């Protein structure tokens, strides 16, 4: 009996703290319904890897290397960027670029909402090496797969903290964005109506868009080709009209499966000795700054344009320029309805949100172009 419970003596208080963090993520997933497909496996995985001598992760015991399943999955799917790229196929298949193609000027809001990335890069460079700072800055894109790919390619020492931050803030969009939007806008601005004029987007335009976007992105930021290419390939499957079953598989089965594997595999980077450190807490703080500044950048850019426009833009849609698709677009729409129950901003906010998805991937490619040697 004594031998049966001997491992309890190996338990450290730091591991118990990580159990608490895992429990919090599970609570947010179940009780608050905050991105449960991300937070539930991430929370459970955090508990799994912080059990003493956990067999879920690779470790050396008495000079013998014991391979853990999560470490094997990490090497097979994240260390080589396979999981994030496969997830991009699913995301691309989910995205309808129709609202964006109907109103292409919405694309500028996706670019404006990447301001937080470059602001945080400057701030993080005061505390970390430039490659680590660049990897931390991309958290502001609110795009987990891009954050993983950039941190992995730049060889950041803080891959685990960056991954956890990126996915956690994606899930916390409904908590973080509304206060920032309300702080930067007046009630009158939040009530601005934007009539939606639907334009018929031809099938050939929908097919050419992902192809041409990949080519242009590849010429501007070659390092982004894999990220943009997989995203646009997923969209091409959706729009081509002859691969409906593959499109449905990519949107549901593939995206859900990869998300589950990503969540629980990322957790192997949440071991107490790696996670409970001052620099990790600083990364979490800088990631939050990046996220807030991205939101603020989009809103303030819309307010700036309104100084020159006759037909005013509801500045809230600028906040949807982050990459958290479709969460951010829905939040802006709900905030508009709260101010005026007959003000429908969904098509505008989703158009901006889609442009943010593209812009964040290109921003990641630009970061790699600047710092990848």
Spatial distance between the Cα atoms of 246 and 60, rounded to a whole number of angstroms: 42
- Collapsing DSSP to helix, strand or coil, 97 comes out as coil
Looking at the DSSP assignment, which residues form a beta bridge with residue 110? none
Burial class (CB in 10 A: 0-12, 13-18, 19+), 162: buried
Spatial distance between the Cα atoms of 122 and 307, rounded to a whole number of angstroms: 29
Which tens digit of pLDDT belongs to each residue from 155-201? 888 877 887 788 777 777 888 889 999 999 999 998 888 877 767 88
Q: Which has the closest alpha carbon to 266: 137, 149, 360, 148?
A: 148
pLDDT attached to residue 6: 67
User: Is 283:136 a contact under the CB 8 Å cutoff?
Assistant: yes
Which tens digit of pLDDT belongs to each residue from 318-366? 888 887 777 788 888 888 888 888 888 888 888 888 888 888 888 888 8
Task: Return phi, psi of residue 276, to 5°.
Answer: -85, 70
SS3 helix, strand, coil % of the chain, rounded to 5? 75, 0, 25
Q: What is the pTM of this model?
A: 0.82
Which tens digit of pLDDT belongs to each residue from 224-251? 788 889 999 999 999 998 999 999 999 9
């Amino acid at each position: 009996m004594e031998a049966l419970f001997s491992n309890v003596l190996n338990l450290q208080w730091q591991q118990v703290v990580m159990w608490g963090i895992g429990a919090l993520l599970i609570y947010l997933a179940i009780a608050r319904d905050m991105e449960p497909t991300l937070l539930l496996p991430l929370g459970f995985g955090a508990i799994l890897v912080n059990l003493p001598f956990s067999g879920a992760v690779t470790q050396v015991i008495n000079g013998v290397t014991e391979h853990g399943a999560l470490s094997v999955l990490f090497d097979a799917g994240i260390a080589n960027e396979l999981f994030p790229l496969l997830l991009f196929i699913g995301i691309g298949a989910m995205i309808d670029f129709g609202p964006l193609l109907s109103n292409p000027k919405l694309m500028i809001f996706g670019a404006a909402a990447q301001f937080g990335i470059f602001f945080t890069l400057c701030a993080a460079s005061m505390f970390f090496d430039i490659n680590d700072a660049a990897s931390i800055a991309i958290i502001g894109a609110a795009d987990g797969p891009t954050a993983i790919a950039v941190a992995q390619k730049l060889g950041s020492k803080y891959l685990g903290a960056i991954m956890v931050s990126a996915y956690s803030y994606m899930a916390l969009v409904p908590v973080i964005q509304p206060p920032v939007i309300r702080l930067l806008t007046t009630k009158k601005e939040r009530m601005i109506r934007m009539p939606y004029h639907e334009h018929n987007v031809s099938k050939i335009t929908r097919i050419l868009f992902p192809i041409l976007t990949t080519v242009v992105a590849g010429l501007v930021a070659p390092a982004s080709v894999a990220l943009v290419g997989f995203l646009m390939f997923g969209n091409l499957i959706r729009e081509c009209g002859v691969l409906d079953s593959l499109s449905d598989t990519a949107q549901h089965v593939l995206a859900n499966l990869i998300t589950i594997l990503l969540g629980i595999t990322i957790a192997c980077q949440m071991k107490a000795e790696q996670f409970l450190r001052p620099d990790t807490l600083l990364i979490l703080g800088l990631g939050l700054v990046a996220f807030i500044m991205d939101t603020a950048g989009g809103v303030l850019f819309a307010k700036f344009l309104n100084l020159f426009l006759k037909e005013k833009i509801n500045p809230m849609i600028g906040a949807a320029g982050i990459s958290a698709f479709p969460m951010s677009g829905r939040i802006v729409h709900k905030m508009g309805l709260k101010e005026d129950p007959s003000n429908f901003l969904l098509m505008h906010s989703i158009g901006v949100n889609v442009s943010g998805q593209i812009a964040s991937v290109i921003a990641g490619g630009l970061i790699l172009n600047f710092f990848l040697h």
